[in-house]
């Protein structure tokens, strides 16, 4: 939603009804969690608890999933039905807290928006233990079914990202005449989305990645020089959001670690970002970044692991690694 607000601001006062964005329909959909199947939730992403004969897509329009209150199994249903729902709060991979909303009946998309605005997201379910725990909370529901965060989506982004965010206008997508397989922002309706025939000509919005993995091997100083000459700078990780972007890129690296714009000064004995950002957010691996550095072999610089926990480590600056540049 934050990105949608930025997009709407960019398009403000433009003399056009529709503007293309990079979402298009593919032939076959797949079941996915509202949060997405990224790193934070990869474990257990394929767990399912379907009721007998489900999912059956009755009438060709059942694309969202609800838990049945009487036995805790799942059914696919029309997304526009109104049920109570389950949100969760916190990091789903570690210490989540479930939030059952029994007194409010919403459509699946409305429930998703409610959870994202007030908690983290509609709940995902990783295993039988979690399913049992969630089911036990639904006894007070006034509806026979309760929304969970699983849905079938045949829409994909042109950059192949797996974001599950959707901002459809009411009644959309409707695939009028079975020809509407692309998506545009409708400027006259709070910037919400319509499915539109792909052959129609409209203005469009492009974007540039804010971060870029460079699959060259360079020392830290050479990586810094490359980024400043070709982009803006070596990346500074000042928040959990930027760390998540860095982790996604680092997984594609050809080296075990990837340089960040993190530098240590032996003279003053502290770490700093070369961009001038203060080090408030930290994600050091145990034993790194907290004590005094061994400067006998020269200055140290910071890198992120390309696998495992992908935390930050202190390395000699003359190691040759891939690196991440920022474009902002």
Q: Are 151 and 62 in the same domain?
A: yes
Q: What is the pLDDT of residue 253?
A: 92
| Domain assignment present for 181 | yes
Domain for residue 17, yes or no?
yes
The owner of tokens 């070709």 is 230
Residue in this structure with the two tokens 């490359």, named with its chain if needed: 226
Secondary structure of residue 140 in the 3-state scheme:
helix
Q: What pairing do the DSSP bridges indicate for beta strands 211-218 and 18-33? A: unpaired
Write the DSSP symbol of residue 50: B
What 3-state class would DSSP assign to 226?
Answer: helix
- Confidence class of residue 40 from pLDDT cuts 50, 70 and 90? very low
Backbone phi, then psi, for 222, in 5-degree steps?
Answer: -70, -35
Among 196, 221, 247, where does a domain finish? 196
CATH number, domain at 307? 3.10.100.10
231 and 136 within one domain: no
Do both 188 and 68 map to the same domain?
yes
Confidence of residue 49 (pLDDT cuts 50, 70, 90): very high
Q: What angle do CA 296, 302, 304 make, to 5 degrees?
A: 135
Asked whether residue 205 is domain-assigned, the answer is no
Q: Out of 152-156, 196-200, 310-314, which region has the weakest mean confidence (pLDDT)?
A: 152-156
C-alpha 190 chain-centroid distance: 23
Strand partners, 147: 66, 85
Are 249 and 317 part of one and the same domain? yes
List of residues 6+ apart from 327 with CB closer than 8 A: 208, 209, 210, 211, 212, 231, 232
Tell me the two tokens of residue 288. 């790194």
Number of domains into which the chain is organized: 2
Q: Residue 206 falls within a domain, yes or no?
A: no
Cα distance between residue 60 and residue 29, in whole Å:
12
167 domain-assigned? yes
Same domain, 101 and 129: yes
Q: Which residue in 264, 289, 276 sits closest to 238, CA to CA?
A: 276
- CA gap 146, 9 in Å, rounded: 36
Last residue of a domain, one of 167, 196, 225: 196
Mean pLDDT along residues 136-152: 88
Is 6 part of a structural domain of the chain? yes
Give yes or no: residues 279 and 314 share one domain: yes
**189 and 263 share one domain:** no
Is residue 191 domain-shared with residue 227, that is, in the same domain?
Answer: no
The most confident of 1-15, 42-56, 221-235, 287-301, by mean pLDDT: 221-235
Upstream peptide bond of 55 is cis (omega within 30 degrees of 0): yes
Q: In the structure, what pLDDT confidence band is assigned to residue 132 with cuts at 50, 70 and 90?
A: very high
Rounded to an integer, what distance in angstroms lies between the CA atom of residue 228 and that of residue 233?
Answer: 5
Q: Please, which residues have CB within 8 angstroms of residue 129's CB and are 6 or more apart in sequence?
A: none
Same domain, yes or no, for 7 and 128?
A: yes
Residue 203 belongs to some domain of the structure = no
Tens digit of each residue's pLDDT (9 = 90 or more) over 163-219: 778 888 877 888 888 899 999 999 887 789 999 999 999 999 888 778 999 999 999
Residues 314 and 190 in one domain: no
Identify the pLDDT of residue 65: 96
- Grade residue 43 by pLDDT with cuts at 50, 70 and 90: low
Q: Domain for residue 204, yes or no?
A: no
Residue 51's domain comprises 2-196
8 Cβ contact partners less than 8 Å away, ≥ 6 residues apart: 185, 190, 191
Same domain, 20 and 149: yes
Kindly provide the b/e burial profile for residues 64-96, where b requires at least 16 CB atoms within 10 angstroms of the residue's own CB.
bbbbbbeebebbbbebebebbbbbbbeebeeeb
> pTM score, two decimals?
0.60
Instruction: Tell me which of 57-66, 151-160, 235-244, 286-295 is least confident.
Output: 286-295
What is the Cα–Cα distance from 120 to 35, expressed in whole angstroms?
Answer: 9
Residues 266 and 219 in one domain: yes
pLDDT tens, residue by residue, 53-72:
999 988 888 889 999 998 99
């Amino acid at each position: 939603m934050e990105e949608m607000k930025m997009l709407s601001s960019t398009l403000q006062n433009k003399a056009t009804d529709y503007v293309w964005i990079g979402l298009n329909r593919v032939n076959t959909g797949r079941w996915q969690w509202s949060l997405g199947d990224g790193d934070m939730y990869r474990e257990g992403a394929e767990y399912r608890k379907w009721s007998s004969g489900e999912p059956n897509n009755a009438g060709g329009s059942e694309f969202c999933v609800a838990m049945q209150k009487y036995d805790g199994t799942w059914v696919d249903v029309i997304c526009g039905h109104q049920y109570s729902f389950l949100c969760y709060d916190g990091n789903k991979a570690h210490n989540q807290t479930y939030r059952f909303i029994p007194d409010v009946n919403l459509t699946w998309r409305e429930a998703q928006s409610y959870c994202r605005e007030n908690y983290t997201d509609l709940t995902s379910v990783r295993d039988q233990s979690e399913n049992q725990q969630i089911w036990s909370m639904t006894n007070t529901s006034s509806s026979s079914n309760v929304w969970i965060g699983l849905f079938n989506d045949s829409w994909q982004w042109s950059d192949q990202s797996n974001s599950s965010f959707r901002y459809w206008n009411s009644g959309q997508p409707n695939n009028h005449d079975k020809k509407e397989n692309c998506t545009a922002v409708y400027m006259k309706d709070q910037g919400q989305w319509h499915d539109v025939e792909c052959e129609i000509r409209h203005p469009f919005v492009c974007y540039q990645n804010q971060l870029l993995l460079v699959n060259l091997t360079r020392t830290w100083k050479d990586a810094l020089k490359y980024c400043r000459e070709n982009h803006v700078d070596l990346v500074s990780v000042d928040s959990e959001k930027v760390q998540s972007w860095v982790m996604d890129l680092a997984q594609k690296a050809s080296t075990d670690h990837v340089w960040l714009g993190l530098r240590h000064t032996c003279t003053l004995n502290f770490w700093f970002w070369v961009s001038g950002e203060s080090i408030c957010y930290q994600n050091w691996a145990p034993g790194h970044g907290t004590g005094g550095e061994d400067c006998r072999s020269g200055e140290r610089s910071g890198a992120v692991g390309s696998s495992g926990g992908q935390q930050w480590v202190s390395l000699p600056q003359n190691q040759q690694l891939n690196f991440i540049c920022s474009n902002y």
